[in-house]
Chain A
């Protein structure tokens, strides 16, 4: 089972002829992901790693039945690439691209939520992996082991570190989702948590947050009211100096939220044990699973 992607997902890569696009297409294929098509405008008819390239997403969907898109298009063109995928009816759009202007994402995310059926993951994210079935994005595949732990994270390399710790401790994963580190993202913690709650393969969830915004506090509220499966948390940036980027107006909106203390407090109050360091996570997960099974 797992969530969002599985062995049957048909993946399309937007920006497949670029350096990153081509490299990660090969990595995804090697992992066993069904990469069925690529899109680069003007390069239709070519092939990359045996994958046919199309000029438009609509063409690629029509010819191959792709239902997931992975975007490696440079930042100035990525918002348009997301919209193109959504308008072609792609169900799951995973945008790896970093550095997209925030106002572009405000428009794109609002349009996607209101006018389409598509779900966006990212931008500025490592993508997602369902262990031993399908990897969409840039996560290093060899770290994963199939199992029952779901992981959702705002980080990239820190996620790999934690997957590595879990695997070393014998805790395999169902699906690991990197939701991205930008202020405006398509999928937040509370969009992923219900999927794990409903997934029969997932028995426990690891939530990896960091300073800024209030997504962790909102997730804590959701966990308290809706999650029956155990959740273990980690918050990065606990000693970071406050307010480096925030101006006056930002402080008004978050109303005291966004600090690591606030996040740790909210999650702890929601019954989520918080690891002090990533290597403490496996022990907390094992403990939480034991308590839950009892």
Chain B
């Protein structure tokens, strides 16, 4: 779950980190009022979950409250498009904060590193726009510290990583509190990514978190009540947001063949098979264990919310769950729903034959293997054209 910059900055502020003064606005009038209160040159920043905001025209400077009004008016409601996000995103809020005179830009980030099974703290003197590019072209410019979770972030660890990134003892003294604060905030919020980029040094020698990004662990929201309220807002796609409310794992893929299966690995594999058969998957949907009719109905409803869907594929591997129960669940769900596209059902595993027998004589098209199912639904969807 991604947080907006203003949300991440509020968390950093709560943990004592230096953040520019500012507030969030959803109207040009609001932006103007904030600029008046700040009483100095401000920066207006689109609050969207995407990279490359600056290049997309989502960040503007304003010398006066009237300019702030104009800048906010231009950004709010506009679709911002960047190379990282070609589909673009619409900004519904802007952060209005004091402009800072930046002398140097550093990168500070922390994330879960699967290989070391620790949180990795990363520092670079090459902060600013494109940290991925630094990683690709100058990996040596980034110093990494895998933090021992049983010891926490130690002073010597901080020295090692900062010296490793080319800082002097002066830099260590300046940045150590930032690293400590970021690590505390990261753990306290159950984040799996927290970045300050850039961590800026101003012309007058102050260090300040000029931009911030945080991603929270959705599995931990049960104990992050205050942050959980940001959740639905963090999902841009309306079907994905609805799936979230219904407790189903749905990912929109942009094609025209709806895919429903049980188990993430199997569904992922089914998506691959449909693509291999020349089709374009519309979505990934894992209904998980069991196949109660209401769950199947929810799943079908979700997939059919996508108007591009021309065919629907069920791929169910009966394990503990039996194939005939699944077939009944599908029939029961479809009896109450009007689905006009062709539906191919592949049942395998336990009691698959009984399941297929139940489907005989219904408009549902049976398939024995995953490949056969993929081929059939691709053909049918093409015919439906």
Contacts and interface: CB of A to CB of B under 8 A. Distances in A.
B272 A110 contact: no
Contacts of A208: 265
Given A247-B195, A250-B111, A160 B317 contact: yes
Given A114-B150, A183-B112, A247-B193, A75 B317 contact: no
Contact of A100 (B112, B219, B272, B348): B219
A208 B144 CA distance: 30
Interface centre among B114, B215, B317 (most CB of A within 10 A): B114
A253 B145 CA distance: 11
B192 interface: yes
A239 B272 contact: yes
A111 B195 contact: no
Nearest to A256: B136
B317 A251 contact: no
Contact of B115 (A107, A181, A252, A253): A253
Contacts, number: 185
B266 interface: yes
Interface in B289-335: 317-320
A8 interface: no
Given A102-B219, A181-B265, A239-B272, A248 B131 contact: yes
Interface stretch (B10-18, B29-37, B39-47, B118-126): B118-126
Interface stretch (B89-97, B159-167, B273-281): B273-281
Contacts of B369: 279
B150 A250 contact: no
Given A101-B219, A155-B263, A236-B268, A106 B276 contact: no
Given A239-B271, A250-B111, A155 B265 contact: yes
Interface string A220-247: 0000000000000000111111001001
B195 A248 contact: yes
Nearest to A74: B222
B220 A101 contact: yes
A111 B151 CA distance: 11
Interface string A69-91: 00000011000000000000000
A211 to B, nearest CB: 8
A103 interface: yes
Contacts of A214: 114-115
Contact of A111 (B150, B194, B269, B276): B150
Nearest to B218: A99
Given A106-B117, A236-B272, A139 B319 contact: yes
A210 B271 contact: no
Interface in B322-374: 348-350, 369-371
Contacts of A139: 319
B170 interface: no
A140 B350 contact: yes
A199 B262 CA distance: 32
Nearest to B286: A157
Nearest to B271: A239
Contacts of A153: 265
Nearest 3 pairs of A and B residues by beta carbon: A155-B265, A157-B263, A158-B265
Interface of B: 2, 51, 109-115, 117-120, 122, 131-132, 135-136, 139, 142, 144, 148-150, 187, 190, 192-195, 197, 213, 215, 217, 219-220, 222-223, 251, 253, 261-266, 268-269, 271-273, 275-276, 281, 284, 317-320, 348-350, 369-371
Given A75-B222, A249-B122, 10 more contacts: A100-B219, A101-B220, A102-B220, A110-B117, A158-B269, A160-B349, A236-B265, A249-B111, A252-B132, A252-B135
